[in-house]
A and B are shown apart, each in its own frame.
Chain A
């Protein structure tokens, strides 16, 4: 990473990360809290996202609209998002506004003062947020994949729950307060500042307005189920093919979602893949999670696989998109998560009758990756691709913050990105082959098809 950062930890456990850049005049703040839908249970489903909304609705010193008005008057552009593992509140503003922003942020985190009416208005706004996303093909596919992959781990549910699943929030303010008190604590919070910070006594300002925030009681959380992906208990590197008995345990799943006639079909194939949590610095209060057997090299290898195997530079892309005209686009994602999540391949298929040949080609490509190592040249070119693609994202404070938020939000430190890039350089064709065998087993694939008609042909 072309920027150095500085870290300060305060007595109450709050962490401050400073990443000075040479983009003049502006500063971005990402306030990252270790709470997401992963920390919810049946009785608290939807709270993480709801609190993200409610934290814009006033604080003790700035009640009601006055909090928002004070923020707006600084010239800040602010927003927030809730992920599975963390919640991010972000704003970008003129550097002169930094002391004021820190004061406002401190007040809403320590003394939130949203009213009953605000709480319910935001609950209704979330219903609308769900409505506008519910028709999106990718959102529907991801919902189906979560259901197939996680029978009981909280990753089964996205942070944005359908309104009908949020009825329990209607009358549960005391539960809401407990959830808030448990998760919105200094030791679970990181203030990540990026930008024109030179000569500003940021740590002093933070000390001044945030030091009264008390640590939470360390409530033990029940261990989460299913944090380990299939095969993760096996040693790495030279894995044998799954035995028949393994395969018997790992049933592929196949889900078909109905789509409007005339719209292009989608095919998604997902696999359980390792999480990050044990790789980076473990955040306070989270050390109870089951350790994964994966290593940074495995994470790096899976990242490389998104482009080597199933990206625009892959032979499969050449075949499906360029030569056979079966698909419009092919890409894959290995999202950062604390626990084991998904490695997913997405294909927008050109026509209904192309779905089966696309799935067949995809399985053949997987087989090829299992049986034949990629060439050193393919690996070098993919490594270059990832490095330069990453560097091109670092073009503003806001974009740097967004790019690093996953790493900071999950592992607590942007240093994780350096560990990952160091690991990229250690990935060999054999290691790549090993992660394919370990995690991308056809026997464990989760297939979701979005199409106009029910599947006529049997799943391959």
Chain B
């Protein structure tokens, strides 16, 4: 489907200067200053009858006030599912129903994305609903109570019924302790309970304004439609620059292990360390390649997958990430518009039988150590590079994904709108030594935060502190090279001290 030229307009604040930005590894907070003072329209017209909207507000959960965690999430829910000043939530839902369309909110640390798709037959109806939701919120107390309770339930369900998500939430919480990224984007139970309607209205007034708003559109847009959208959203107050300057995560000097007891059938492992190589950083393509080679999401490409699953059948999967990927259990690729200034390098080992979890932890950790110390082999580098040249275009297989990626590229300070093509070219020109240098520069296998969620963790703690041997138990024969490596792994010392291994309950962690 051919894409017509990009239409773009910026609404400048009086007195502001909007300079073209160059890709660089400048500090993210520096980059933001060029972007936040302008209302931006990013239209990618094409001939598709499916029209996608992505409206991005710089209003994420990192802006939640202390004790009011969940405000960003509840504000977005109120806009999208809380009715407008003109129509109740039920009436809006009824109006949207025959269009077969959905409008959804995605709240992350630094942005709220309101997105939706419609067939062009229904564009006027759809857009009228979307505009009404965002520009004329309903703010009814009844809807507020309904949605607050819904978010509390959603958070409870994530904490109590999804160990893998829980492990990843704990990892973020521990690494960003004391920082605005620490709590889940949904908030905390206490924070949600303390929120009142005026808190959410204040949040809207303060952060849902023209400053930093990006209006993304793609599809067969009628003549003048994009300009009309831009004009309509000028109705929002200009707003002040919502500059979010983040302090780096607390510097840890040793490994830390957090054990979260749960009565489940296996042990989930998440581990990671802060890593600020975001898409605008010059080492991003190299580290992206390394992360894929090490643990591509749900793919047999990754070394972790090969070692833990293919060779040993220890787990369904083991993966690594350079960018936050919410709800990876059910998706093959992350949603766009999760731009963060600070990222984690993250390892995720899906549930392992308790008997083998000590071994699995040692194996994954040791593989990370080998990656950092030795880098990728020539074969591994080459096949990963070949693979990525084919898969990177799939990051933008849908027009909606292309729009999302183009919006994110702007936030990361990249020029142009074809992020995938830029990344593909950068990956094509990488060398193995460049990748391994980037790995050595940014990754490490010490000062890690490790989280384990599962049963019998008191017992595991004792074993961890004793560095007890953890021979793996197989139900079937394994090749000799695997058994030889197992002997090394089973006795590999983690050298953890008692103060480094803590047991924490879910209730304490997300009170």
* Residues of chain A at the chain B interface (Cβ within 8 Å): 22-26, 56-57, 65, 68-69, 72-79, 92-94, 97, 116-132, 134-137, 170, 259-260, 262-264, 307, 312-313, 317-318, 321-323, 325, 328-329, 348, 350, 380-382, 384-392, 394-399
In the complex, what residues of B have CB within 8 A of residue A382's CB? Answer: 97-98
Are A132 and B316 also in contact (CB < 8 A) when A22-B1, A77-B394, A395-B50 are?
yes
In the complex, what residues of B have CB within 8 A of residue A264's CB? Answer: 153, 156-157
Interface segment among B127-135, B252-260, B348-356, B458-466: the answer is B348-356
Are B154 and A328 neighbours in the complex by a CB distance under 8 Å? yes
Are A388 and B1 neighbours in the complex by a CB distance under 8 Å? no
- What's the Cα separation between A129 and B316 when bound, in Å? 5
Are B150 and A77 neighbours in the complex by a CB distance under 8 Å? no
* Residues of chain B at the chain A interface (Cβ within 8 Å): 1, 48-50, 88-90, 93-94, 97-101, 117-119, 121-122, 142, 145-146, 149-150, 153-154, 156-157, 160-164, 264-266, 268, 298-301, 306, 309-316, 329, 332, 350-353, 383, 386-391, 393-394, 397-400, 474-479
- 30 A–B pairs (Cβ distance < 8 Å), ordered by A: A23-B397, A25-B393, A26-B397, A57-B310, A68-B300, A72-B386, A73-B386, A76-B390, A77-B394, A116-B477, A121-B309, A124-B313, A124-B314, A125-B313, A128-B314, A128-B315, A137-B161, A263-B153, A263-B157, A263-B161, A264-B156, A323-B90, A325-B142, A350-B150, A385-B97, A388-B100, A388-B121, A388-B122, A395-B50, A397-B397
User: How far in angstroms is the closest Cβ of chain A from B138?
Assistant: 12
Are A121 and B311 also in contact (CB < 8 A) when A312-B93, A381-B98 are?
yes
In the complex, what residues of B have CB within 8 A of residue A119's CB? Answer: 476
Are B352 and A128 neighbours in the complex by a CB distance under 8 Å? yes
In the complex, what residues of A have CB within 8 A of residue B266's CB? Answer: 128, 131-132
- What's the Cα separation between A131 and B160 when bound, in Å? 15
Q: Which of A75, A118, A260, A325 contacts B387 (CB 8 A)?
A: A75
Are A389 and B387 also in contact (CB < 8 A) when A56-B300, A395-B400 are?
no
In the complex, what residues of A have CB within 8 A of residue B88's CB? Answer: 322
Are B397 and A92 neighbours in the complex by a CB distance under 8 Å? yes
Give me the 9 closest cross-chain CB pairs, A-B, nearest first: A75-B390, A388-B100, A124-B313, A120-B476, A389-B100, A313-B97, A121-B313, A131-B266, A264-B153
Beta-carbon nearest neighbor of A123 in chain B: B313
- What's the Cα separation between A97 and B391 when bound, in Å? 12
Q: Which of B122, B157, B383, B397 contacts A72 (CB 8 A)?
A: B383
Beta-carbon nearest neighbor of A162 in chain B: B265
Q: Which of A23, A69, A72, A77 contacts B1 (CB 8 A)?
A: A23
In the complex, what residues of A have CB within 8 A of residue B50's CB? Answer: 391-392, 394-395
- What's the Cα separation between A125 and B317 when bound, in Å? 8
In the complex, what residues of A have CB within 8 A of residue B391's CB? Answer: 75-77
- What's the Cα separation between A118 and B389 when bound, in Å? 29
User: How far in angstroms is the closest Cβ of chain B from A102?
Assistant: 16
In the complex, what residues of B have CB within 8 A of residue A126's CB? Answer: 316
Q: Which of A23, A72, A137 contacts B301 (CB 8 A)?
A: A72
Q: Which of B89, B329, B398 contacts A132 (CB 8 A)?
A: B329
Beta-carbon nearest neighbor of B400 in chain A: A395
- What's the Cα separation between A386 and B352 when bound, in Å? 41
Beta-carbon nearest neighbor of A314 in chain B: B97
Are A128 and B387 neighbours in the complex by a CB distance under 8 Å? no
Are B149 and A325 neighbours in the complex by a CB distance under 8 Å? yes
Are A127 and B149 neighbours in the complex by a CB distance under 8 Å? no
User: How far in angstroms is the closest Cβ of chain B from A166?
Assistant: 11
Are A137 and B157 also in contact (CB < 8 A) when A77-B332, A131-B265 are?
yes
Are B156 and A117 neighbours in the complex by a CB distance under 8 Å? no
Beta-carbon nearest neighbor of A329 in chain B: B150
Are B476 and A26 neighbours in the complex by a CB distance under 8 Å? no
Are A135 and B89 neighbours in the complex by a CB distance under 8 Å? no
- What's the Cα separation between A125 and B474 when bound, in Å? 12
Are B161 and A93 neighbours in the complex by a CB distance under 8 Å? no
- What's the Cα separation between A23 and B400 when bound, in Å? 13
Beta-carbon nearest neighbor of A28 in chain B: B397
- What's the Cα separation between A264 and B145 when bound, in Å? 16
- What's the Cα separation between A112 and B344 when bound, in Å? 40
Are A322 and B389 neighbours in the complex by a CB distance under 8 Å? no
Are B329 and A313 neighbours in the complex by a CB distance under 8 Å? no
User: How far in angstroms is the closest Cβ of chain B from A265?
Assistant: 9
Q: Which of A117, A132, A170, A392 contacts B477 (CB 8 A)?
A: A117
Q: Which of A57, A130, A388 contacts B101 (CB 8 A)?
A: A388
- What's the Cα separation between A134 and B454 when bound, in Å? 13
User: How far in angstroms is the closest Cβ of chain A from B470?
Assistant: 17
Are B100 and A391 neighbours in the complex by a CB distance under 8 Å? yes
Are B393 and A398 neighbours in the complex by a CB distance under 8 Å? no
Are A399 and B398 neighbours in the complex by a CB distance under 8 Å? yes
In the complex, what residues of B have CB within 8 A of residue A313's CB? Answer: 93-94, 97-98
Are A322 and B146 neighbours in the complex by a CB distance under 8 Å? yes
Are B387 and A390 neighbours in the complex by a CB distance under 8 Å? no
- What's the Cα separation between A328 and B163 when bound, in Å? 22
Are A125 and B309 also in contact (CB < 8 A) when A26-B393, A386-B100, A392-B117 are?
yes
- What's the Cα separation between A373 and B388 when bound, in Å? 55
- What's the Cα separation between A381 and B94 when bound, in Å? 10
Beta-carbon nearest neighbor of B267 in chain A: A131
Are A92 and B394 also in contact (CB < 8 A) when A128-B316, A135-B162 are?
yes
Q: Which of A78, A318, A387, A388 contacts B90 (CB 8 A)?
A: A318
- What's the Cα separation between A27 and B394 when bound, in Å? 10
Q: Which of B90, B98, B154, B475 contacts A120 (CB 8 A)?
A: B475
Beta-carbon nearest neighbor of B392 in chain A: A75
Are A392 and B156 neighbours in the complex by a CB distance under 8 Å? no
In the complex, what residues of B have CB within 8 A of residue A124's CB? Answer: 312-314, 474-476
- What's the Cα separation between A84 and B122 when bound, in Å? 37
- What's the Cα separation between A264 and B157 when bound, in Å? 7
Are B299 and A77 neighbours in the complex by a CB distance under 8 Å? yes
In the complex, what residues of A have CB within 8 A of residue B478's CB? Answer: 117
Are B97 and A350 neighbours in the complex by a CB distance under 8 Å? no
In the complex, what residues of A have CB within 8 A of residue B97's CB? Answer: 307, 312-313, 381-382, 385
In the complex, what residues of A have CB within 8 A of residue B475's CB? Answer: 120, 123-124, 170
- What's the Cα separation between A350 and B150 when bound, in Å? 7
Give the residue among B100, B142, B310 with the most A Cβ atoms within 10 A.
Answer: B100
Are B383 and A385 neighbours in the complex by a CB distance under 8 Å? no
In the complex, what residues of A have CB within 8 A of residue B146's CB? Answer: 321-322, 325
Are A385 and B161 also in contact (CB < 8 A) when A26-B394, A75-B390, A121-B309 are?
no
User: How far in angstroms is the closest Cβ of chain A from B262?
Assistant: 8
User: How far in angstroms is the closest Cβ of chain B from A398?
Assistant: 6
In the complex, what residues of A have CB within 8 A of residue B49's CB? Answer: 391
Known: A131-B351, A262-B160. 10 other contacts (CB 8 A): A65-B306, A75-B391, A94-B393, A97-B390, A120-B475, A120-B477, A128-B309, A348-B153, A384-B98, A391-B50
In the complex, what residues of B have CB within 8 A of residue A121's CB? Answer: 309-313, 476
Q: Which of A120, A125, A322, A387 contacts B89 (CB 8 A)?
A: A322
Beta-carbon nearest neighbor of B330 in chain A: A136
- What's the Cα separation between A137 and B121 when bound, in Å? 38
Are A125 and B298 neighbours in the complex by a CB distance under 8 Å? no
- What's the Cα separation between A344 and B387 when bound, in Å? 41
Are B101 and A132 neighbours in the complex by a CB distance under 8 Å? no
Beta-carbon nearest neighbor of B97 in chain A: A313
Are A125 and B315 also in contact (CB < 8 A) when A26-B397, A135-B264, A313-B97 are?
yes
User: How far in angstroms is the closest Cβ of chain A from B49?
Assistant: 8
- What's the Cα separation between A361 and B13 when bound, in Å? 53
User: How far in angstroms is the closest Cβ of chain A from B270?
Assistant: 13
Q: Which of A73, A129, A130, A387 contacts B100 (CB 8 A)?
A: A387
Are A24 and B1 also in contact (CB < 8 A) when A77-B394, A384-B100, A398-B397 are?
yes
User: How far in angstroms is the closest Cβ of chain B from A453?
Assistant: 15
Beta-carbon nearest neighbor of A385 in chain B: B100
Beta-carbon nearest neighbor of B89 in chain A: A322
Beta-carbon nearest neighbor of A139 in chain B: B161
In the complex, what residues of B have CB within 8 A of residue A132's CB? Answer: 163-164, 266, 268, 316, 329, 350-351
Are A325 and B119 also in contact (CB < 8 A) when A117-B478, A132-B316, A262-B160 are?
no
